[in-house]
Amino acid sequence: MSSTLIRNASAILSGARTQGEGPVRLDGPDIRIVGETIAEIGALTPQPGESIVDATDCVVYPAWVNTHHHLFQSLLKGDTVGLDASLTPWLAATPYRFRALFDERRFRLAARIGLIELARSGCTTVADHNYVYYPGMPFDSSAILFDEADKLGLRFVLLRGGATRTRQLEAELPTALRPESLDAYLADMQRLSAQFHDASPRAMRRVVVAPTTVLYSISPSEMRETAAFARAHGLRLHSHLSETVGYQDSARQMHGMSPVEFCGEYDWLGDDVWFAHLVKIDAHELAMLASTRTGVAHCPQSNGRLGSGICPVREMADAGMPVSIGVDGAASNEAADMISEVHMTWLAQRARRGMAAQPSYAGGRFEGGADAATIEDVVHWGTAGGAEVLGLSEVGRIAPGFSADIAIYRLDDPRYFGLHDPAIGPVASGGRPALAALFSSGRRIVRDDAIEGVDLRELAHEARTAVGELLASV
């Protein structure tokens, strides 16, 4: 079995939760990978025939786990029509305006761009909420996503989106935006589950039942049916929820309750469920989510770009909710990579808490919110926290017996010079630290900041051409 020794790291963060899960920082300075697994950590002696990776002056993290994305949007960054729009008008202006134009070639190119962007930020596990599905579709978008992830050596979790109804008039929609029937949706889930789903704790391929937006995409009775289907097949459940106040208004008007109460009523809460966003929730909803151990995919850059607000991740984690981080689609996040996302997470939680500070004469009891998120909290949420919501119990940590998913950052850009504690650089300083190496399930997929077989200049050219075509056809 192949063996690799990562030598002399200047710092190693384990991805463990700050309390009760073993050390958060590891002394190392060496890590041995045997086959697909982290075998040993400590001061280790090279063995004959072993590959050596020199990590001198490098910082080592578990590879990131991204729990919510829409890869097809990688060709929709900064669309001028939707650039200054909030969620609902933005949906019409950007993703729905362009979605019908995604043929097989453009869809594949967009997926490839997004996956490469993520890998270059040190991410090896990608959960993509794909909703490019419609009746009579001439290409298999699910298979393309698995294929593109496989080519790069990434672990891929398909969150199979879709809708059985639409908020717009169906007759006026182009074919590529028409909803499916529930039978067709479940039949395709059955196919995907048989073809791609691996239930093992470090699976490279998973599928998840993920109607695009439970509140709008399917009926309440279909929510119960999809939940029962998922649980009968051992699949997890995912959807968007409470991204803006619009969800609160809709749930109240349509069902006379809050969005989380509505999900509870129709079997969509539990430790096998996680929702993207959860920006607008009240104390009762937070308690319901925590008591059922329902998880969150926190997407702070998209929530910032769309002006939605800031998810109370600190309160969620303190209440016992599984917390993870997602980049969301690039149509609402012009930097859909995990380093930007965790940098924003760290800052936004502190800013959010600070917004509640009051002067002491008005009853205030604290000055600011700098205690709302540590670097170690953020690394945990972006690694082991993500693996937890995806049910990948041997992924997301640097510990013996875990899958060898490891990012080794060089910090050789001036933005990292002068750091008193280099370990915090990738999160605290942001930017994109160069990768000395990225291991995905023991396989080295990035070497000296380059992915083998990927020509970024060629990819940039293809992207420019595709954007030109999209703008000419819309």
Instruction: Select 163 or 451, whichever has its Cβ closest to Zn ion.
Output: 163
User: Residues binding Zn ion: what is the number (CB under 5 A)?
Assistant: 2
User: Taking a C-beta distance cutoff of 8 angstroms, is the pair 2, 49 a contact?
Assistant: no
Instruction: Select 258 or 301, whichever has its Cβ closest to Zn ion.
Output: 301
Instruction: Select 328 or 377, whichever has its Cβ closest to Zn ion.
Output: 328
Instruction: Select 299 or 316, whichever has its Cβ closest to Zn ion.
Output: 299
Restricting to residues 357-376, which ones interact with Zn ion according to CB under 5 A? none
Angle between helix axes 104-119 and 456-473 (nearest 10 degrees) is 140
Closest approach of Zn ion to the CB of residue 463, in Å: 21
User: Taking a C-beta distance cutoff of 8 angstroms, is the pair 164, 170 a contact?
Assistant: no
Which of these segments, 14-22, 328-336, 370-378, 428-436, binds Zn ion (CB under 5 A)? 328-336
Residue nearest to Zn ion (CB): 328
Closest approach of Zn ion to the CB of residue 204, in Å: 23
Closest approach of Zn ion to the CB of residue 108, in Å: 20
- Residue 205 backbone dihedrals phi, psi, to 5 degrees: -140, 130
Instruction: Select 226 or 308, whichever has its Cβ closest to Zn ion.
Output: 308
Which run of H or of E encompasses 123?
strand 123-130
Instruction: Select 345 or 440, whichever has its Cβ closest to Zn ion.
Output: 345
Is 243 a binding residue for Zn ion by CB under 5 A? The answer is no
Closest approach of Zn ion to the CB of residue 341, in Å: 13
Please return the burial class of 81, using the count of CB atoms within 10 Å of its CB with bins 0-12, 13-18 and 19+: middle
Please return the burial class of 285, using the count of CB atoms within 10 Å of its CB with bins 0-12, 13-18 and 19+: buried
SS3 breakdown of the chain: % helix, strand, coil, rounded to 5?
A: 40, 20, 40
* Binding-residue pattern over the window 287 to 326 for Zn ion, x denoting contact by CB under 5 A: ----------------------------------------
Closest approach of Zn ion to the CB of residue 311, in Å: 13
Closest approach of Zn ion to the CB of residue 125, in Å: 17
Selected binder of Zn ion within 272, 328, 337, 394 (CB under 5 A) = 328
Restricting to residues 249-288, which ones interact with Zn ion according to CB under 5 A? 276
Instruction: Select 333 or 383, whichever has its Cβ closest to Zn ion.
Output: 333
Query: CB within 8 A of 455, min separation 6: which ones?
Result: none
Residue 184, token pair as written in the block: 């067709």
Closest approach of Zn ion to the CB of residue 344, in Å: 16
Taking the C-alpha atoms of residue 403 and residue 153, their distance in angstroms, rounded to an integer, is 13
Instruction: Select 328 or 341, whichever has its Cβ closest to Zn ion.
Output: 328
Restricting to residues 58-97, which ones interact with Zn ion according to CB under 5 A? none
User: Taking a C-beta distance cutoff of 8 angstroms, is the pair 184, 137 a contact?
Assistant: no
Query: CB within 8 A of 284, min separation 6: which ones?
Result: 258, 260, 261
Strands laid side by side in the 51-54 sheet: 37-42, 30-34, 3-7, 51-54
End-to-end distance of the chain based on CA atoms, in angstroms?
A: 52
Closest approach of Zn ion to the CB of residue 328, in Å: 5
Angle between helix axes 141-152 and 182-196 (nearest 10 degrees) is 30
Interface with Zn ion (CB under 5 A): 276, 328
